[in-house]
Structures are given as C-alpha cells and as structure tokens.
Amino acid sequence: MSWWPTVILIVAVLALLVAIHDLSQKRHAILRNFPIVGHFRYMLERVGPELRQYIVADNDEELPFSRDNRRWVYASAKGANAYFGFGTDNRMDETGYPFFHHAAFPIDGDADEPIPSLKILGEWRDRADAFQPTSIINISAMSFGSLSSAAIEALNRGAGLASCMHNTGEGGISAHHRHGGDLVFQIGTGYFGARNGDGRFSIDTMLASMEGTPTRAIELKLSQGAKPGLGGLLPGSKVTREIANARGVPVGVTVRSPARHKEFGDIKGLVNFVERIADAAGVPVGIKSAVGDPHFWSELANEMRQQDKGPDFITVDGGEGGTGAAPLLFADHVSLPFYDAFEVVHRAFHAVGLTGHVTFIGSGKLGFPAPAALALAAGADMINVGREAMLAVGCIQAQKCHTGHCPTGVATQNARLVRGLDPTDKSVRTARYIGALRHDLRALAHAMGHDHPAKITPDQITIR
C-alpha cells in the first residue's frame, strides 16, 4: 500500500496545476471563479444533448432563452460554427410560427456589409447633432450597478468594435462606459447622472456627465417592459463609490427611483421636457416605454403632430424584456408583449402621419434573427439587444441576477466573481455576436429580394 501516497501526491500536483491554469486563463469566467469544479459544468454541457434526448428537456423548451438560442449566441460570439445539423427540430405546425417568403430571384450580395439605419436620427426636429446610426443592432439599457464593471466595459468595448451604440441604462455614465463605444445616455425617474443635490433634474449636471464622452443621443425612460409602473430601490450596501459617482448620490445611502417623473405630469409636459433637453444637449432625444394604456400613445402622437415637436425616437419595450429583479406579478402580467405593444404605438403614429419622422426601436427578446426580422417588418427601424448581449459576454442563464451572486460575474458587484470576466476577451465576443446577428438579417433580406432587412414587409411573412 506504500504507493498510495505517491498517487495522492500526483493527483494533488495535477489538481494544483489545473487550478493555476483555471485561475490564470481569461477565456472562461466559470473556471476563473470556480477552478477545477467548473470543468464539471463543461463536461455536463458536452454530454447534455445525449442526456436531454432521453431524460430531460428538448432544445426549445427552456425559458426565457432556449438551448438552441443560447447555443447560437455562444457559437456566434466565439467565432465558432453556429450552424445546426440534420434539419429543424422546431414544431413548425405550432400556432404563431413564422415563415419568411424567399424570393424566386434572391440578391447575391455580401451579407457582411454594415447595416445602417434607413432614417436620420434627429432629422425631423433638425437637431444640431442629428446623425444616421451605423448599425440597426445596438446594445440595450443595462446600468452599471445592475451589471458589473467588467460586463459594462466589455459591452462598451464591444460596441466600439461593432460600430454600434451602447445604452447606459438609468445608472448614469460611469468610467466603464468610456472604452470606445458610442453612448445613448438614459435618464430615468431618479435622474441619476443628471440630478442636483435634492434629486431633481439638472441640465448642468447632465451636460457635465456627457462632457468628454461620445454621447450620440439621450433616452428618457418612462418605464420598462419587465416592471412598468414601479420604481426601483438600490440598497445602500450596493452603493459603492464608483456607483455613487456615476449616479450622483452619496456613498452607502439607499437610493430610490420613483414610479414616475417629477419634472412633468402630462403629455404636453413630456413633449416640452424632451425639447428642453434637446435644446441644451443638441443631440437627438427619445423616450423608452412599455405599453399599457393605448390612449396615451394616440394622445402623444396627436400632441406631437399639433406642436410639430417631441421625441426623435421611441423605444418600445416588450413585456417579455429583461430586468435584474422584479415582482413576479409585474414580470409575468403587466405591459403588453412586444409585437402587440409595437402595433399599438406604430398605429397611433401612422394615423397622424409621423412614422416617417420618428425612429422606432424595438426591444424585448429580439436579439435573434427571426424575432428581429419580424420586428423590422412590423415597422421597427432598429433593434436593441440586452440579455442576448449578456449571453455573449458569458451569462449562462443562471437567473441569479437578483441575488448578487451571478456565477459568471456579469450581474453582480462581488469582486471575486467579477474577476472571472475578462472585458477585453468578452468585448470581442460581443462584437462577433452583433456582427453575426446583422449578417443573418442581411442574408435573410437578400434571400427575400431586399438589400436591407428593414425593407421586409408584413405580406412577405406567413404566421401560422
């Protein structure tokens, strides 16, 4: 039995070498955060298809994103083979299943060409810094605080590499938003990054936050799809110095986002507030909202038509959109899902002849080719991707965002877990994912006889 100590020593040395390798490599956040044991996750993932075939779920059962969805994002982000073999395993006879009509004579073009917006953002109101977005796919609002510093940096660097825009979320512009990506500065009901000492909106603070940053537009957040009609609360324990600096609040003090804005209380006030911000900043200004009361949108469209002013863009957030934390009732049952919501908004603006002036942006589980194409055909001009971009930087859909214990370091402020996420490596993955989504949309458009996916029309789609 004298050989047992030798075996144990060899195993211990091998385990130590594996642990050192895991801790020093930057490709896999799970292995950096959970050396040695993290390998079991990848072993199970590798044999997963065989296990699921017999005893667990199929490729399209898991929610919010199926295994096929996640596999496509992961493969695209890694630059690996994102094709699927043997044909579809979807139930094509299910109600609501979409079919795109390919053309008899498709366009034989380069699907990797850039896909700019077909509209000039801010042109209608003649904003000083109106511009044509270079990408119809952009990164949705996710704030520093909800996501980690490394995740925000990875997304921002990735936006720069992909030549797209990165929405800051309502937590203000942090140092991690300053790595090359163009910004959309989101201002929520807490006016973080744009508030005075009393918590009221401040033009001067807003402009100071924007100074020296590539802020291309400002988005006024009215609500979000996952929890409309509710405010938010950031416990003092999570208000670190970095987060406090970005938001303009005291360190360690609990801060609240009210359920509604204090600067206006009706549609006329909203329109005037948008113009006030635009006049001061010079950039296009839009609004983001979930859709509940349909009359609000008709009244807003009529007010904008009568005054000949108002938001340059409208981001419609579907009820299936993501959040770091929300009451189950609101996440499941409050606000319309995207396609129903978008129809309400687009119809209201079409009725007053403003659809050509306003840029419409869709968000809420649209970060895959088919849903994005359906949204564009419905009238969206651009698509924002949120959780799908999180998948690209390493999210494994653990659904622990609300606990502060995200195992991959994406949605946590735990320094030990954040260490596992290397922003330089993940920025490349972000850019690859966005590029792959644009590629597939362009390829689909070519197959349907168009040179741009926003030219796909509803009559070219069959919904079973």
Do residue 47 and residue 141 come from a single domain?
Answer: no
Give yes or no for a contact between 109 and 453, defined as CB atoms under 8 angstroms apart. Answer: no
Structural domain contains residue 328: yes
**Separation of alpha carbons 240 and 220, rounded Å:** 25
Grouped pLDDT means (10 residues each) for the chain, 464 residues: 75 80 78 80 68 62 87 96 89 93 95 94 97 98 93 98 97 96 97 94 98 98 86 80 93 89 97 98 98 97 97 96 82 91 98 98 97 98 97 92 89 91 96 98 98 97 95
Do residue 166 and residue 43 come from a single domain?
Answer: no
Q: CA angle at residue 397 from 237 to 342, to 5 degrees?
A: 95
Structural domain contains residue 126: no
- For residue 274, how many other CB atoms are within 10 A of its CB? 23
Return all residues near 204 (Cβ < 8 A) that are at least 6 apart. Answer: none
Helical residues (DSSP H) of 177-266, grouped into ranges: 203-210, 241-247
Give yes or no for a contact between 421 and 408, defined as CB atoms under 8 angstroms apart. Answer: yes
Instruction: Find the CATH number of the domain harbouring 232.
Output: 3.20.20.70
Structural domain contains residue 104: no
Beta bridge partners of 368: none
Helical residues (DSSP H) of 120-234, grouped into ranges: 149-162, 203-210
**Separation of alpha carbons 78 and 43, rounded Å:** 18
Structural domain contains residue 20: yes
Do residue 145 and residue 41 come from a single domain?
Answer: no
Structural domain contains residue 259: yes
Do residue 195 and residue 292 come from a single domain?
Answer: yes
Cα 362 to Cα 130, 140, 222, distances in angstroms = 20, 10, 15
Task: Determine if residue 335 is left, alpha or beta; phi over 0 gives left, psi from -120 to 50 gives alpha, anything else beta.
Answer: left
350-355 — which CB contacts under 8 Å span 24+ positions? 351/298, 351/301, 352/301, 352/302, 352/304, 352/305, 353/305, 354/301, 354/304, 354/305, 355/379
Averaged confidence pLDDT in the chain: 92
Amino acid in the structure at residue 215: T
Closest CA to 228 of 169, 168, 147, 291: 291
SS3 content of the chain, % helix, strand, coil (to 5): 40, 10, 45
Do residue 41 and residue 141 come from a single domain?
Answer: no
List, for residues 153-174, the tens digit of each pLDDT value: 999 999 999 999 999 999 999 9
The range of the structural domain enclosing residue 35 comes to: 1-51
Structural domain contains residue 441: no
Q: Which two tokens stand for residue 369?
A: 């080719």
Structural domain contains residue 153: yes
pTM of the model: 0.89
Cα 40 to Cα 19, 46, 212, 388, 420, distances in angstroms = 13, 10, 45, 24, 17
List, for residues 260-313, the tens digit of each pLDDT value: 999 999 999 999 999 999 999 999 999 999 999 999 999 999 999 999 999 999
The DSSP-derived string for 287-309 is: EEE----HHHHHHHHHHHHHHT-
Which pLDDT does position 72 carry in this prediction? 96
List, for residues 364-419, the tens digit of each pLDDT value: 999 999 999 999 999 999 999 999 999 999 999 988 888 888 989 999 989 999 99
Which pLDDT does position 292 carry in this prediction? 94
Do residue 41 and residue 151 come from a single domain?
Answer: no
Structural domain contains residue 410: yes
Which pLDDT does position 56 carry in this prediction? 65
Do residue 151 and residue 32 come from a single domain?
Answer: no
DSSP reduced 3-state for 446: helix
DSSP reduced 3-state for 29: helix
Do residue 373 and residue 234 come from a single domain?
Answer: yes
Give yes or no for a contact between 407 and 459, defined as CB atoms under 8 angstroms apart. Answer: no
In the chain, how many domains are there?
2
Return all residues near 110 (Cβ < 8 A) that are at least 6 apart. Answer: none
**Separation of alpha carbons 264 and 395, rounded Å:** 37
